[in-house]
Amino acid sequence: MATTSGISVSARPKYESVIGLEVHVQLLTATKIFCSCSTHFGDPPNTNVCPVCLGLPGALPVLNRKAVEFAVLAAMSLNCRINETSIFARKNYFYPDLPKGYQVSQYDKPLSEHGFIEIKTAGGAKKIGITRLHLEEDAGKSLHEGFADSSETTGIDLNRSGMPLIEIVSEPDIASPEEAYEYLTRLKEIILYTGVSDCNMEEGSLRCDANISVRPRGQKELGTKTEVKNVNSFRFIREALEYEIERHIGIIDSGGKITQETRLYNSSEGKTYGMRSKEQAHDYRYFPEPDLLPLVVDAKWQKEIRDALPELPEARRKRIVAAYGITEQDAQVLTLTKALADQFEAAAKAARSPKRVANLVQSELMGRLKAKGLDIEQSPISMNGVAASADLVESGAISGKMLKDLYDLAFERGKDFAVIYEEEGRPEQSRDTSALEKIIDEIIAANPKQVDQYRAGKRTVVGFFVGQVMKASKGQANPQLVNELLARKLG
Amino acid sequence: MNLDLLTVDAARSAVQERKTSATALAESFYAKIESDDPKIGAFLTLSKERAMAKAAQMDALAAKGENLPPLGGVPVGIKDVMVTKGVRTTAGSKILGNYVPPYDCTAVAWLEAAGAVVLGKLNCDEFAMGSSNENSAWKLVHNPRDLTRVPGGSSGGSAAAVASDMAVAALGSDTGGSIRQPASFCGVIGMVPTYGRVSRYGLIAFASSLDHIGPLTKTVKDAAIVLRTIAGRDPMDSTSADVPVPDYVAELEKPVRGLRIGVAKEYLGEGLDKEVRSAIEAAIQKLAKQGCEIVDVSLPHTRYAIPTYYIVATAEASSNLARFDGVRYGYRAKDARTLSEMYRRSRDQGFGAEVKRRIMLGTYALSAGYYDAYYLKAQRVRTLLTRDFEEAFNKVDAIAAPVSPTAAFKLGEKVDDPLAMYLADIYTVTADLAGIPGISVPCGETKNKLPIGLQILGRHFDESTILRVAQASEKAVTSGKGECP
């Protein structure tokens, strides 16, 4: 990653950074927030539109009840307090892809406030405050490229206009780019668990803007902030923030002043650039949206929504550790997504050793998925497959080596474990004691020194023999059987 | 067929009983429009194809001997701020000069579903901003009672069309008096219903929290019939109320005897023309003769109504009119080199002076640092004005008042003095700010034979009472006897 200068490296300990994040999450409703147009992604431009989301003269918004429920669910999952009455407001600005000339959002009375997310930092657990979570509509999209006349004209696609969004604004509690990354990871994980969004950054269903300022350590007042916009991955946000901190320190340390501005991150250069100042002199002239009534989410409705709140990742991890006797790290991996956790739990419950299922997922499955660039949902081996394989190892029917080979075949052929196991003729590790006895006899004969040690009472040397036998049998031998035979022949 | 004073029921019955056909009736109206409208200027666009199709449909029903719906075959006009599918809708503005909407305004759709034949779109002040119809981008409307005078505004075309028998009834919109004042100036009935009573879906917004659609008709009964048709909850308008709609026509049969009618001194004070005052006082006396009890009431915050109105209305307008930017539809300035140049030129060339003035006022009122002092304060005063009415309606069933301080003024008389024009809205803006219903009914004439309207204001969702009172006044005037109906 590029840095601005060398000066700041030595100056860095004198300063601390303060970061706040604004995250927009698109809700997975079937229809838009104020009309009945489809929210389907990727349809031809301007096909999912109607008078309302086109902002035609005379059209009026009608709030989508599902969008409210999803927003409340998200707010509850982030420990926010729900405001029984919230008010929609118009945010006025001109832009070609904003068809009404204002965005319907919420301003001084948002849907919910005062939440938090707990993150892990080097110094232990830390709560990052959430100032507010509110509902709003998305704007359309300006298409600057991809058409024959793109050099002279800009196209407007209003399919996205009126998509339901929640905006989640954090407190300036985030102290480092690393914490920002951790906050976003936890936030995404929680939202995914609630099922209200797919949080797909490529499709724009999760977007993040970051506010960053730097001040001398110990100073109370915040430094002048800059806002970094349009960053399309968590990794880039971390990089952009690291770049900005270096840049701020470089300027402040050499006696300069930070200009409050919006900056865009160029990920290929690893640098941020200021937008032209003309584009940021905004007075949004917020006022209550007269076309919508105040939104009332009363206690009864809140309870209905709360009852639908699923178990959240942190709680689930704790429960999984206790229930399946697995490590925190294992639980972390297995609860990465709700789907994975659900599948794991179903499989583990069915398996003889839940712990072995967890180990196999981590040691054998995840690595192979990563190598192939697959999501857990795309895995050729299902959780049931993992459970079945775990049982086969557990019973001694197959060895660890055999399992690895079967997993490789499953990934090669794109088939589930059970299918491969059948295709390979239900292989079993050797139980033929005569062949194994022959190998053991040879190894005992070839290693008289170790035999003497064993017989002199140094029982740990048995490990050496087991290793030799497994090596000679190319991993096919049943370890339990090897141990039995060795004990008999050495003893 | 003689179109003079043709009412909704008379027109419908004629078609039902096959004394004429809806087609012939529509043709007669179009002939009258062709001969008379050049000197009036009420129509902006004729929707002949659509009208003749609806007329044919009504004729087919009548031929089969089936009962026609309440407005079966009745020719009506629509103020050009209500969108009509496939029929050019300009809102009186150059910026929508060639705009053809792809959908129908709910009120228009419901009117047509009740059999109405929509003749065309009626002239109005640009985006309903004005009190004389002189802000139309297209042409002036002349008051049928005196062609040198204004018809009032902003629904000037609607009032003039009904007054000159070029339509049996019309829809108008009222944001600060835009139905009642032109009705008063042209000598017809004009009614603003309770806010939320009639869907605003498809009404091109001027000020969303103040905009109302309502009828302009020749008789109070016709107003009741039209209101009954367009009132009710519309799922497309979140602010439309889920309050049962009574049969306003049946309600008209109830007597007015015993009703308490309030008279507010704030509405009869300085600035009120003498002739108007004596006509209003005489009309109130006639109501008393019919057994109404006349009670003094006070509406103390009335003097703040005009500034309050012009802050709230312009603030909302500045936002509502932002969508007219030349990007997707409507007028776009040619040869702009940058985006902001396109915005500025399209809006500068597309909007008229009054609209620009109000956008500027409203933008200012909402700006950072001014919001609390203007918009927020205006909303608080609005609450006080509403409370004035609530307290008054604890004592009375309706309030009688003038509609406008004067009768129709001369064309051109006030065009250079927007403030004087604003101040003349004093008796009408209060009902819009409070969201209560009001009706203007002719109650007399000046010595120059100019109509004077009596305004009756009522409680939220109590259109029935003010229709009854208006009808009592109407009968007293037409019969001249002042007898109880």
A307 within a domain of the structure (yes/no) = no
Kindly state whether residue A428 falls inside one of the protein's structural domains.
Answer: no
- Contact assessment for residue A115 and residue A183, using Cβ atoms and an 8 Å cutoff: no
- The residue in chain B having the minimum alpha-carbon distance to the alpha carbon of residue A152 is B337
Whether residues A123 and A215 share a domain: the answer is yes
Active site residues of B: 79, 154, 178
Average the pLDDT over B327-343 and give the result: 93
User: Which of A64, A90, A144, A287 is the best mutation test for B, with the most CBs of B within 10 A?
Assistant: A287
Least Cα separation, residue A46 to chain B (angstroms): 12
Are the Cβ atoms of A60 and B103 closer than 8 angstroms? no
Q: Does A317 share its domain with A260?
A: no
pLDDT tens, A96-126? 999 999 999 999 999 999 999 999 898 899 9
Cα pseudo-dihedral B275, B281, B282, B287, rounded to 10: 150
Residues A293 and A438 in one domain: no
Whether A397 and A259 map to the same domain: the answer is no
Q: How confident is the model at residue A278 (pLDDT cuts 50, 70, 90)?
A: low
CA angle A38, A43, A47 (to 5 degrees): 65
pLDDT digits (tens, 9 = 90+) for A39-84: 999 899 999 999 999 999 999 999 999 999 999 999 999 999 999 9
Domain identity same for A351 and A281 = no
Q: How many CB atoms lie within 10 A of CB B185?
A: 36
State yes or no: pLDDT of B482 exceeds 80: no
pLDDT tens column, A298-343: 999 999 999 999 989 989 988 988 887 777 877 887 787 888 888 8
Q: Cα(A396)–Cα(A481) distance, rounded to whole angstroms?
A: 9
Domain of residue B123, CATH code? 3.90.1300.10
For the residues B256-275, what does the mean pLDDT come to?
A: 94
Best interface-test mutation with B: which of A54, A92, A289, A291 has the largest number of B CBs within 10 A? A291
Check A156 against B327: CB less than 8 A apart: yes
Annotate A147-197 with DSSP letters as a single string. STTTTT--EEE-SSTT-EEEEEEE-S-B-SHHHHHHHHHHHHHHHHHHTS-
Q: For residue A481, what is the domain's CATH number?
A: 1.10.10.410
pLDDT digits (tens, 9 = 90+) for B95-149: 999 999 999 999 999 999 999 999 999 999 999 999 999 999 999 999 999 999 9
Q: Does B428 touch chain A (CB under 8 A)?
A: no
| A58 chain-B contacts, CB cut-off 8 A | 82-83, 101, 105, 200-205
Is the pLDDT assigned to residue B481 strictly greater than 60? no
Based on the fold, state whether residues A293 and A321 are members of the same structural domain.
Answer: no
Q: How confident is the model at residue A3 (pLDDT cuts 50, 70, 90)?
A: very low
* Best residue of A36, A60, A92, A97 to probe chain B, by most B CBs closer than 10 Å: A60
Cβ of A100 under 8 Å from any chain B Cβ?
Answer: yes
Whether residue B264 is predicted with pLDDT greater than 80 in this model: the reply is yes
Phi, psi of A364 (to 5 degrees): -110, -40
Q: Does B190 score more than 70 pLDDT?
A: yes
Whether chain A has a CB inside 8 Å of the CB on B82: the answer is yes
Min CA distance, B199 vs chain A (Å)?
A: 10
Query: Structural domain of residue B127, as residue ranges?
Result: 8-236
Query: Do A355 and A232 share a structural domain?
Result: no
- Please tell me whether residues A355 and A448 are part of one structural domain: no
pLDDT higher than threshold 90 for residue A474? no
Most confident region among A169-173, A279-283, A476-480 by mean pLDDT? A169-173
Please tell me the predicted confidence (pLDDT) of residue A277.
61
Residue spans of beta strands (DSSP E) within B289-384: 293-297
Helix (H, G, I), strand (E, B) or coil at B203: strand
- Residue A336: what pLDDT? 79
Q: Which residues of A touch B366 (CB under 8 A)?
A: 92, 285-287
Q: Which domain holds residue A464?
A: 433-490
Could you give the angle at the alpha carbon of B420 between the alpha carbons of B419 and B421, nearest 5°? 85
Whether residue A430 is predicted with pLDDT greater than 70 in this model: the reply is no
**A243 & A348 share domain:** no
| Residue at which a domain ends, from A383, A402, A423 | A423
Cβ of A291 within 8 Å of Cβ of B238? The answer is yes
Which ipTM did the prediction report?
A: 0.95
Residue B484 — very low, low, confident or very high, per pLDDT cuts 50/70/90? very low
pLDDT band per the 50, 70, 90 thresholds, residue B421: confident
Quick one: A418 and A453 in the same domain? no
Amino acid at B406: T
So what's the pLDDT on residue A338? 83
**Confidence band of A1 (pLDDT split at 50, 70, 90):** very low
Q: Is B204 within 8 Å of A58 when comparing Cβ atoms?
A: yes
Out of A58, A61, A283, name the one closest to residue B202 (CB).
Answer: A58
The confidence score (pLDDT) of residue A431 equals 66
Nearest alpha-carbon partner for A141 in A122, A127, A155, A121: A155
Q: How far is B109 from chain A (nearest CA, A)?
A: 14
Split at pLDDT 50, 70, 90, the class of B401 is very high
Phi, psi (rounded to 5 degrees) for A178:
-65, -45
**Short-list B237, B79, B243, CA closest to B161:** B79
Smallest Cα distance from A284 to chain B, Å: 8
Q: Looking at the predicted structure, is the pLDDT value of residue A375 above 90?
A: no
The whole-number pLDDT of residue A426 equals 82
Q: Which residue has the higher pLDDT, A467 or A78?
A: A78
Report the domain count for chain B: 1
Res. B52: pLDDT tops 60: yes
User: Predicted confidence band at B388 (pLDDT cuts at 50, 70, 90)?
Assistant: very high
Residue A4 lies inside a defined structural domain of this protein: no
pLDDT band (50, 70, 90) for residue B10: very high
Distance from CA of B337 to the nearest CA of A (A): 11
Check CB contact under 8 Å for B103 and A55. Answer: no
Size of interface A-B (CB pairs under 8 A): 101
- State the average pLDDT for chain B: 95
Q: Is the domain of A284 the same as that of A235?
A: yes
Q: Supply the pLDDT for residue A175.
A: 93
CB atoms within 10 A of CB B95: 25
Hey, are the CB atoms on A102 and B101 less than 8 Å from each other? no
Predicted pLDDT at A10: 66
pLDDT tens for each residue of B280-330: 999 999 999 999 999 999 999 999 999 999 999 999 999 999 999 999 999
**Is the pTM higher than 0.90?**
no
**Is B108 within 8 Å of chain A by CB?**
no
Contacts of A62 in chain B (CB under 8 A): 235-238
Write down the mean pLDDT value for chain A: 89
Stretch B228-252: mean pLDDT, rounded?
Answer: 97
Residue B384 placed within a domain: no
B96 interfacial to chain A (CB closer than 8 Å): yes
Q: Does A285 touch chain B (CB under 8 A)?
A: yes
- Please compute, for residue A411, the number of CA atoms within 13 A of its CA located in the half-sphere on the CB side: 18
Q: Is the domain of A171 the same as that of A135?
A: yes
- Could you tell me the pLDDT band of residue A457, with boundaries at 50, 70 and 90? confident
Lowest mean pLDDT among A155-169, A428-442, B72-86, B236-250: A428-442
